[in-house]
Amino acid sequence: MSSQTPYKVLCVCLGNICRSPTAEVVLRHFCDKQQLNIVIDSAGTSNYHPNKAPDGRSQQHALKRGYDLSTLRARQLKAQDFIDFDLILAMDHENLFNIEALLTQVQTEYGVSQIRAKIALMSEYDQTYLKQALPDPYYGGEDGFERVLDQCESSSLAWVTIFKQQFKQQTDVK
Ligand code: 4NP
């Protein structure tokens, strides 16, 4: 990553209306706070809610912590995302599996050399929730939405540490 070209991160869950929009805004908040040149987006492995705003419960709980999700709109993960993004973060293991399956198809169709994205769990380096799923809050109660926020904040802080190390290494070898 150069100082001009932003590093691009895509957060992915199932519906793109609860977990990944929350992850997008929380991760952006912590990256911006550290003035990291990173662009963040989100998508869903399903196309259940195309162009929908985030779930009202996700919006309400996020807003209580100062995160505004209102302008986001859901979209499905697509082949071009593996070409455009540097890092795709899966919110749980099922989505990780489905992202990897789509990656295999995209590699076959476009060629391995076209693929830019690395794939990892949102919780990959988070010592508090290490490699744990971000539980789907959609069919559950209010506490599920708070858990999503707690875990997104914790995992985002862990990613910021990783990104700072990556950026530093790249600056050092210049
Ligand atoms: P998300 O939650 O994957 O965190 O956006 C869900 C939203 C909708 C559905 C499932 C999960 N749904 O089945 O419609």
Dump the DSSP string for 24-50: HHHHHHHHHHTT--EEEEEEESS-SST
Cα gap 155→158, rounded to integer Å? 5
Structural domains of the chain sorted by starting position, each given as residue range(s) with its CATH number in brackets: 7-163 (3.40.50.2300)
Single-letter amino acid code for the residue at 39: V
Confidence of residue 63 (pLDDT cuts 50, 70, 90): very high
Of the chain, the percentage scoring pLDDT greater than 90 comes to: 94
Closest ligand 1 atom to the C-alpha of 95?
3
CA of 17 to the centre of ligand 1 (A): 6
Give the pLDDT of residue 66: 98
* Of 11, 18, 19, 28, catalytic: 19
Q: Which two tokens stand for residue 122?
A: 């949102």
Q: What is the number of residues in the chain?
A: 174
The most distant pair of C-alpha atoms in the chain lies apart, rounded to whole Å, by: 50
pLDDT (tens digit per residue) in 64-99: 999 999 999 999 999 999 999 999 999 999 999 999
16 Cβ below 6 A of ligand 1: yes
CA of 12 to the centre of ligand 1 (A): 11
Place of tokens 């862990």: 158
Q: Who's near 11: CB < 8 A, 6+ residues apart? A: 19, 20, 21, 23, 24, 27, 40, 41, 42, 43, 89, 91, 122
Under a CB-based contact definition with an 8 Å cutoff, are residues 137 and 155 in contact? no
